Chains A and B, each alone.
Chain A
């Protein structure tokens, strides 16, 4: 699919969705990002990323798990699509191909 690129934040969110498995919704993703990579983000940014990726076909969503603390509203649960998984793999491979050709890189201070 030509023209679809993952932004850096989007990639993180996508990874978080993948790692959260069955319970990936905006609030859990936000806290996952904070815990795993120390990334502080506003909930609205997470929303933007999720819905954009849904438009691109990287994730799909369903509703479920209403709770009183949510004012009785359902959660929107996200799941990475096959296309999203391929995208993640591809992205990882591209990065690795760079690492392979640049073995001697080291921090110079």
Chain B
């Protein structure tokens, strides 16, 4: 008997069924049945192995396994298995765990919610940007006609301008063009209704096809009758309400006070939505301006032309024909100055950053900035998700006992994985709800910063809500799956003993921390470089004094009394000086052709120009390098025969060693040659990412200014503005007083950049906060795991400082690695960005050092809070845990 037993034991020890066959069986048979069937097969195998040849037993075993594939679909519900009770238990345990570790749960969920909220808000913004001009049904076939202008020394520039005759002639000459409309603004216009004067913000002159091409909906009247008569007017709903109240606006007459013309309201349109690049309050047809002179007005660019093309037209080949078009109407030399190109309607809002004289482009924005936002939002969400994952994995260690108990009671691996994944999904959904709350709280501040019309309601459209939910569940799934797999893989015996098995794969967590910190560091370095560049540009000496300057628009009747206005203003106690110009500084200046005589040859070129009052140079404290400024003393100056050029133009004129001062010179309208009297130091009249172009300044023959500039005393802005207003209204009672400060006008040039940096600053702040939250949570878990070790170290005589050091060392290393990854990448990217600016800062090492040290300190601080607590604790307490 003993012999048999040893024999069997011997067989059992040496001859097990083929490993791979058994593994195959496990794969084939459902989990619930495997134990039974495996046992049966094993029993048969051993029986055969004792009675027959071992090889035969093995082959029969294989046969059994293979035949068992017939049972692949056999399933068994576990007996006495009530899933509901189990789910209730899962839920209970999940919430108990949340409450037991309140701090970590808060960090975990709130960090994710922060990331989600910023992502949601950015998505709202991006959606708004992309939706610009999306409501026009024919948007795919509508193009804006733009020009590339190349005038002599002025570098080629894209302009959003075209000529009055272009539209109709393109329609007549090219079958590809189905329709056209021009868009020519009148600016703010004063109208009179029943002896009451009102401003209409923007009246646009358009062709009658305008309302058919673009979908600006009429609420009263119909499209066919809108522009029948010469002075038919379409007004917006809000204008109608302001002017006529509840009365029916159709057929009402509005008088233009200066022109003695009556406009008749024929239709009312819905207010133009904020996401349209064209913004206007009323429309007139171009008919009233359609003189023969205008119809042949080739060469003057002052309006926008939109073309509707036939579907499927090849844009490149149509653009290629435009050269012939220009030659046909303007002669060969037109090609020296002009080139036409088409800009798709969908590109106008986001793709016009390189286009100047772009006056009708509401809230124009850079597509690259939108992309930066999207990338940042994704990164912040990524950091938050990684946090979530890291913390859940770290927390796995504290729940190893639970897993051990579940496993020994009979939970399958799949059930435990499912439990933890589901838990993580539930947590992400809670985070999403908090994120929605955060969005509601913060959306108004965002709207103020970026000046956009955003609404949370977008998220509650079924499709969007579904997408948001799907992404949330996906985040929950992805960030839950790793910790779930780690936990379900615990060996129950080890797990029950409570020895942490989580340490083994901490390299993965460390890699994630490095990744997070690298992103956060990169974002912060990028932001600080961008902010510094922007500040640099705004505070750079422009070459003239733009402070304390009030600018006001001039009109026909105000120009008639310019001398009076000027002297009255100068009499006020808080006003230092008054000057006038033909264009506001801070815009791209208009260009014109010019002629000058060098030796005996008369040379034609072109340059930017601005007409200025004689005291302009004093007023703006501009430096005259050579010659003199314009002055009242010289009769020629008053007759527009004297010119002051800037350095850039002077370089061009004096290229062959000619004396620039005294050089015969004239431009455009004046036919006798005048003279250059002075050279002014270059000043920046435009955005600083554009270089200074050649420029000359002269006085006009009569007062026709487009604006007057007033320099006021420092300290009493309010009183000074009131003084101006008093003078203005006493002279022009019918013109409401409106003004702007020049420095505000300049800072508006950088509005898009400012919005960008503000939002990015917030995002980068969030990134580092979320990353630190994660590190904080992670550190506390690491510290907890090493409690005993630290206790022993203390007993052996380690000081508090040494213990803090030991615990912080690892995180210092992680941040260092993150920094080494992030720094070169950021340097490369930011240098590329700065290359777009003429006046730029050098990146320098300091930013890197400060951000690197800063993030290290933040990391150190977060970790130290934890490690210090351990280091201070009494080793008796930490060692006693058993």
A interface vs B, CB < 8 Å? Answer: 25-27, 42-45, 47-48, 51, 63, 66-71, 73-76
Contacts and interface: CB of A to CB of B under 8 A. Distances in A.
Return the 7 tightest CB-CB contacts between A and B, nearest first: A73-B39, A70-B39, A76-B36, A44-B67, A44-B68, A69-B46, A71-B42
Contact of A74 (B39, B44, B64): B39
A25 to B, nearest CB: 7
A51 B43 contact: no
Contact of B39 (A42, A44, A51, A71): A71
A27 B71 contact: no
A66 B688 CA distance: 86
Interface in B16-72: 33, 35-44, 46-47, 63-64, 67-68, 70-71
A10 to B, nearest CB: 15
A8 to B, nearest CB: 17
A76 B38 CA distance: 11
Given A42-B64, A42-B67, A47-B74, A69 B37 contact: no
A13 to B, nearest CB: 14
B71 A43 contact: no
A52 to B, nearest CB: 8
B100 interface: no
A24 to B, nearest CB: 12
Nearest to B34: A73
Secondary structure at chain B's binding surface: helix, strand, loop or mixed? helix
Given A27-B43, A48-B70, A68-B9, 7 more contacts: A25-B40, A43-B64, A43-B68, A47-B37, A48-B71, A69-B42, A73-B38
Nearest to B33: A51
B71 A44 contact: yes
B40 A47 contact: yes
A27 B46 CA distance: 12
Interface of B: 8-9, 12, 33, 35-44, 46-47, 63-64, 67-68, 70-71, 74, 76
Given A44-B67, A51-B33, A74-B35, A69 B40 contact: no
A74 B38 CA distance: 10
Nearest to B16: A71
A47 B68 contact: yes
A74 B36 CA distance: 7
A69 B16 CA distance: 10
B64 A44 contact: yes
B38 to A, nearest CB: 6
Contacts of A27: 40, 43-44, 47
18 contacts: A25-B40, A26-B37, A27-B44, A43-B64, A43-B68, A44-B64, A44-B71, A45-B70, A51-B71, A51-B74, A68-B8, A69-B46, A70-B39, A70-B42, A71-B39, A74-B35, A75-B39, A75-B40
A70 B70 contact: no
A59 to B, nearest CB: 13
Contacts of B35: 73-74
A66 B35 CA distance: 11
A69 B71 contact: no
Contacts of B64: 42-44
B44 A44 contact: no
A71 to B, nearest CB: 4
Interface centre among A25, A44, A45 (most CB of B within 10 A): A44
A45 B70 CA distance: 8
Given A44-B67, A48-B74, A68 B40 contact: no
Contacts of B12: 68-69
A69 B47 contact: yes
Contacts of A75: 36, 39-40
A96 to B, nearest CB: 33
B108 to A, nearest CB: 41
Given A73-B35, A74-B36, A67 B67 contact: no
